[in-house]
Amino acid sequence: MHRNFAHVLKLALALGCALVFFAQTLAGGGAAAGPVASAQATPTPTPATPQTPAPQASASFDQAKALADLRARIAGQERKPAAEVFKNIQILKTVPAGRLLAVMEVGYSRSLGVDCTHCHLPGEWEKDDKTTKGVAREMIMMMRAINEEHLKKIKNLRSESPVVNCTTCHRGQTRPALNLPAAGPRQ
């Protein structure tokens, strides 16, 4: 029991540092204020504020139309691997092209409360001009490592196949929730 607790504690610390690093990267803090500096600093407790989706969507961008256009463009190729249908697919290469659009729309856009323009230039989807696209790729790799390596090592979880995804931490926000909610009576 003690060994299992130590493993969980080490994993939680490592994941916490990684999440702080990626949150700082998204906020523009960069690697200079990375996980080591954050883990060593004594955080000042701040009251948790209710999380409401920030207005991240571009006023002039019509995501529904963009997705409909992309679906029309790949018609008949939805089951092909994304790397065969789209340009510059680096991580989700084997995901079917039609499913990739759903992953982007639900898995990323809704999970972070943003639209496609958060990571992409409309009409030039393959370009890597936005740093958020690179951060998203890195976070996909982090999520894979957690799901494929770390969660499997934690014994006595109440799920046979536990997983985390973008929503686990982001909850509809670009920055993961790092503050606990204010203490109140349990219901």
Residue 29, token pair as written in the block: 């803090």
Domain positions in the chain = 2-31+55-170
- SS3 breakdown of the chain: % helix, strand, coil, rounded to 5? 50, 0, 45
Instruction: Reply yes or no on whether the pLDDT at 120 is more than 60.
Output: yes
- 27-36, 64-73, 171-180: least confident range: 27-36
Over residues 163-187, the mean pLDDT reads 85
How much is the pLDDT for 141?
97
What's the predicted TM-score (pTM) here? 0.65
Q: Is 41 exposed, middle or buried (0-12, 13-18, 19+ CB in 10 A)?
A: exposed
**Class of the 2-31+55-170 domain?**
mainly alpha
What's the rounded mean pLDDT across residues 140-165?
Answer: 91
pLDDT in tens, 6-50: 444 344 444 444 443 333 333 333 333 333 222 333 333 333 444
pLDDT at 181: 75
- State the pLDDT at residue 46: 38
pLDDT at position 129 over 50:
yes
Confidence of residue 170 (pLDDT cuts 50, 70, 90): very high
User: What is the per-residue pLDDT for 150?
Assistant: 93
| CA-wise closest residue to 172 among 113, 104, 102 | 113
pLDDT at 137: 96
78 Cβ contact partners less than 8 Å away, ≥ 6 residues apart: 71, 96, 97, 98, 99
The 3-state DSSP class for residue 137 equals helix
% the chain with pLDDT above 70: 67
Amino acid letter, residue 72: A
| DSSP category for residue 156 | T
